[in-house]
Amino acid sequence: MPPGRRVGTVLWEIGVLAATGALLAFLGLPLASLLLRVPPGELWARLAAPASLTALRLSLVTSVCATLAVTALGLPAAYLLAMRRFPGKRVVEVILELPMVLPPTVAGVGLLLAFGRAGLAGRALGALGLSIPFTTLAVVLAQVFVASPFFVSAATAGLREVDARYADAAATLRATPGYAFRRVLLPLALPSVLAGAAMTWARALGEFGATIMFAGNLPGKTQTLPLAVYIGFQTDLQSAVALSVILLILSFTVLLGLRLAHRPPRVPWVGRAAGDAR
Amino acid sequence: MLQATLAKRRGAFALDVALEAPEGATLVVVGESGAGKTTLLRLLAGLDRPDAGRIAVGERVYCDPAAGIEIPAWEREIAYVTQDYALFPHLTVRENVAFGLRARGIPRRDARVRADAALERLGVAGLGRRRPAELSGGQQQRVALARATVTGPRLLLLDEPLSALDPGTRRAVRGELRSLLAGLAGVTVFVTHSPLDATVFGDTIAVIEDGRLTQVGARDELLRHPRSAYVATLLGVNLLQGSVVSRDAGGVAHVRTADGTLAVADPGVDGDVWVTVHPQEITLYAQPPAGSAQNVFRGPVVEIVPEPPAGDRVRVALGTSPPLVAEVTRQAVASLGLREGVSVYAGFKATGVKAYQ
């Protein structure tokens, strides 16, 4: 190899490693600081404090409820997006994706305007004697709003990736679309669907902006872990750090778990002869 | 009974065919890649919609766009084995075979018993607990056939069922598949690019060229009256069945058929074989030939087909034992004084005869 090319190759390697290292350090430093700030013994004591436990329990309950709701509504939506063509599909896709990039505070304002006393849905619910804002249900709704795109996009991609010939085979074996979905499509897309649910749960667990706008900050009722961190930051830094560490560990575990669980699917292989393309 | 007329355009390609087959029959549609064979099967299955046409199986009309009838695939009593089988990778072999039964609401236990029986019929009884990925190509093919036939479909669609197999397995499966299809009650539509498979499997053979059926008929009909050069080259061959009884040192084997013994190019295998003789390999003589032809049969001219598909060659059907069709020039017809009833000698070399297992 000519010297110029060799120098270039070495510089390229150094550049790639340096850039990656810089990004890793920038992201890792705050995380490491959180972990190193509180000694493990004290961490445990802070978490065992009643206020912390209350926030933790509320976060777990609401995020699980939100994930279940998103799964129940998002799976049919993903099926529709993956399998069917219909007018206005692009617009539907954008609407379902939008909360992913929308600032959560904007989501919170929107939810408040919709479900607040004077809102479109709020007025109807008010007539029934129901009020959603500043309740635990509002926490769940805020989480559903911001976290649903993670599920819908992962599940749609997963269903789309299932080879069309399996759906065709199911149909010719007398499987109705619903039966084919349950027995063939969903099992084959399950890794993606579960990954989407896990991402949704992690996002719901970390939800802050929409929650504080729409549900407020009521300990035991709407004060989830991220809100408790924010409040603790102003009053009791050590507790805030302890709660942050919990959130950090949960998020890390979810992402690592997804990577470890992802195995390439086993698909029977048969030699294809010169196929009839039509 | 299958009656179908179908038209479908896709870009520059247009399919336009009419098919008919009686109950219990196998209709082979033979043609080259891209001729529209898979398109045809997908229309029959209900996976694609025709632009125009009608599909009727027995009394039921599956599709008639003009009358607003379009029965979805899952309501049709069909089964469709695709080229790559499409066995469900997440289900066991038994669950795959039972799928069509479970989908129509048959209880798990009954479905399981029937699935096991179907697997046994196809000689893969021990594989029920395996996953498709653990099977060989030949085993996958048998499982796919079990899955398709266990429901007793009125219309069985097979897309190149042998093409994904290696040559050794293909030979073994060809015979099994033939007896399986012979035992089915409904109509089988079998598409293939292989002339040999077409002649082996087809009660009726339909030749498809560029989206159109250029000739439909029984094998003997296509052999005697090929209406295009394509049909004459690919399908107009004498096909006999027999078994290898002996072989010489010189690469010649002897195959005994029901009607007589043939000298053939040694296929290198023993047992039952298919033997093909191209009509052009056969020479006709007025007197017993003294040349190098190891095979000589005597018999009357049954028919001289007047319309040659190409050139000046005509086909002569002979009442020899076994019956043969020869392709000779018009000059030969004249010089031998051939006409119906005249007795002639048909001679051909062992090297002109191919045997397949």
pLDDT digits (tens, 9 = 90+) for A44-56: 888 888 888 999 9
Q: How far apart are CA A62 and CA A109, in angstroms?
A: 20
The answer to whether the CB atoms of B133 and A268 lie below 8 A apart is yes
pLDDT band of residue B354 (cuts 50, 70, 90) is confident
B46 touches chain A (CB under 8 A): yes
Please name each of the domains of chain A with its CATH number: 38-261 (1.10.3720.10)
Q: Which of B39, B41, B81, B90 to mutate to test the interface with A (most CBs of A within 10 A)?
A: B90
Count CB-CB contacts under 10 A for residue B327: 22
Q: Would you give the DSSP letter of residue A99?
A: G
Selection from A198, A252, A246 nearest residue A71 by Cα? A198
Average pLDDT, integer, range A133-154 = 96
Please tell me which of the candidates A171, A271, A276 has its beta carbon nearest to residue B74. Answer: A171
pLDDT band of residue A93 (cuts 50, 70, 90) is very high
pLDDT greater than 90 at residue B129: yes
Q: Which of A85, A174, A183 to mutate to test the interface with B (most CBs of B within 10 A)?
A: A174
Q: How far apart are CA B239 and CA B219, in angstroms?
A: 9
Please tell me which of the candidates A170, A174, A273 has its beta carbon nearest to residue B160. Answer: A273
Residues of B in contact with A163 (CB under 8 A): 86
Q: How far apart are CA B55 and CA B36, in angstroms?
A: 17
**pLDDT confidence of residue A73:** 97
Residues of B in contact with A169 (CB under 8 A): 80, 82, 86, 88
Residues of A in contact with B82 (CB under 8 A): 165, 168-169
Tell me the percentage of chain A whose pLDDT exceeds 70: 94
Q: How far apart are CA B276 and CA B173, in angstroms?
A: 19
State the nearest Cα–Cα gap between A234 and chain B, in angstroms. Answer: 53
A90-94, A102-106, A269-273, B284-288: least confident range: A269-273
**pLDDT confidence of residue B307:** 56
pLDDT band of residue A66 (cuts 50, 70, 90) is very high
The CA–CA distances, whole Å, from B51 to A120, A198, B41 equal: 47, 45, 15
A255-264, B118-127, B290-299, B337-346: least confident range: A255-264
A150-164, B86-100, B250-264: least confident range: B250-264
Residues of A in contact with B84 (CB under 8 A): 165, 270, 272
pLDDT band of residue A276 (cuts 50, 70, 90) is very low
Average pLDDT, integer, range B9-18 = 93
Selection from B24, B58, B29 nearest residue B43 by Cα? B29
B62 touches chain A (CB under 8 A): no
Q: How far apart are CA A85 and CA B337, in angstroms?
A: 69
Tell me the percentage of chain B whose pLDDT exceeds 90: 49
Average pLDDT, integer, range A87-98 = 95
Nearest CA in chain B to A173: B100
Residue pair B28/B206 in contact (Cβ under 8 Å)? The answer is yes
Q: How far apart are CA A93 and CA A153, in angstroms?
A: 9
The answer to whether the CB atoms of B74 and A175 lie below 8 A apart is yes
pLDDT greater than 80 at residue A17: yes
Residue pair B118/A173 in contact (Cβ under 8 Å)? The answer is no
- Measure the CA dihedral A63/A67/A69/A72, to 10°: -170
Query: Bridge partners of B155?
Result: B78, B187
A15-19, A32-36, A113-117, B275-279: least confident range: B275-279
Q: Would you give the DSSP letter of residue B135?
A: S
CA-based max dimension of chain B: 73
Count CB-CB contacts under 10 A for residue B186: 21
The answer to whether the CB atoms of A268 and B80 lie below 8 A apart is no
Average pLDDT, integer, range B304-326 = 78
**pLDDT confidence of residue A274:** 36
Residue pair A184/A166 in contact (Cβ under 8 Å)? The answer is yes
Q: Which of A168, A270, A272 to mutate to test the interface with B (most CBs of B within 10 A)?
A: A270
pLDDT greater than 80 at residue B331: yes
Please name each of the domains of chain B with its CATH number: 2-234 (3.40.50.300), 238-356 (2.40.50.100)
**pLDDT confidence of residue A159:** 96
> Per residue, what are the HEC states of B276-305?
EECHHHCEEECCCCCCCCCEEEEEEEEEEE
Beta carbons within 8 Å of A28's beta carbon, 6+ residues apart:
none
Both tokens assigned to B196: 């040999």
pLDDT band of residue A192 (cuts 50, 70, 90) is very high
Selection from B311, B62, B101 nearest residue A175 by Cα? B101
Residues of B in contact with A174 (CB under 8 A): 74-75, 100, 103-104, 151
Q: Is residue A28 classed as helix, strand or coil in its secondary structure?
A: helix
Residues of A in contact with B100 (CB under 8 A): 173-175
- Tens of pLDDT, residue by residue over A151-191, are 999 999 999 999 999 999 999 999 999 999 999 999 999 99
Average pLDDT, integer, range B321-332 = 87
pLDDT greater than 50 at residue A130: yes
**pLDDT confidence of residue A277:** 39
Q: Are strands B271-277 and B353-356 parallel, antiparallel or unpaired?
A: antiparallel
Please tell me which of the candidates B37, B79, B131 has its beta carbon nearest to residue A276. Answer: B37
pTM of the predicted structure, to 2 decimals: 0.79
pLDDT band of residue A268 (cuts 50, 70, 90) is very low
Q: How many CB pairs under 8 A join A and B?
A: 121
Q: Are strands B26-30 and B204-209 parallel, antiparallel or unpaired?
A: parallel
pLDDT greater than 50 at residue B78: yes
CA B14 to chain centre: 24
Position with higher pLDDT, A231 vs B98: B98
Selection from A40, A31, A53 nearest residue A238 by Cα? A40
**pLDDT confidence of residue B309:** 54
pLDDT band of residue A271 (cuts 50, 70, 90) is very low
Average pLDDT, integer, range B115-122 = 94
The answer to whether the CB atoms of B75 and A273 lie below 8 A apart is no
CA B18 to chain centre: 18
B166 touches chain A (CB under 8 A): yes
pLDDT band of residue A278 (cuts 50, 70, 90) is very low
Residue pair A181/A255 in contact (Cβ under 8 Å)? The answer is no
**pLDDT confidence of residue A263:** 58
Q: Which residue reads 């399981």 in tokens?
A: B112
The answer to whether the CB atoms of A166 and B88 lie below 8 A apart is yes
Average pLDDT, integer, range B214-220 = 86
Q: Is the dihedral of CA A226, A230, A235, A238 positive or negative?
A: positive
Please tell me which of the candidates B38, B82, B132 has its beta carbon nearest to residue A278. Answer: B38
B140-144, B220-224, B256-260, B347-351: least confident range: B220-224
pLDDT band of residue B228 (cuts 50, 70, 90) is confident
Nearest CA in chain A to B41: A278
Residues of A at the B interface (Cβ-Cβ below 8 Å)?
A: 163, 165-166, 168-177, 179-180, 183-184, 187-188, 265-278
Q: If you average pLDDT over every residue of chain B, what do you get?
A: 89
Average pLDDT, integer, range A248-273 = 68
pLDDT band of residue A80 (cuts 50, 70, 90) is very high
Nearest CA in chain A to B131: A268
Residues of B in contact with A271 (CB under 8 A): 137, 164, 166
Nearest CA in chain B to A165: B86
Residues of B in contact with A276 (CB under 8 A): 33-35, 37-38, 83, 159-160, 191, 193
Q: How far apart are CA A273 and CA B15, in angstroms?
A: 22
Give residue A147's identity as a one-letter amino acid code: A
Helices assigned H by DSSP within chain B:
37-45, 93-103, 108-121, 137-149, 167-182, 195-201, 219-224, 229-234, 330-336
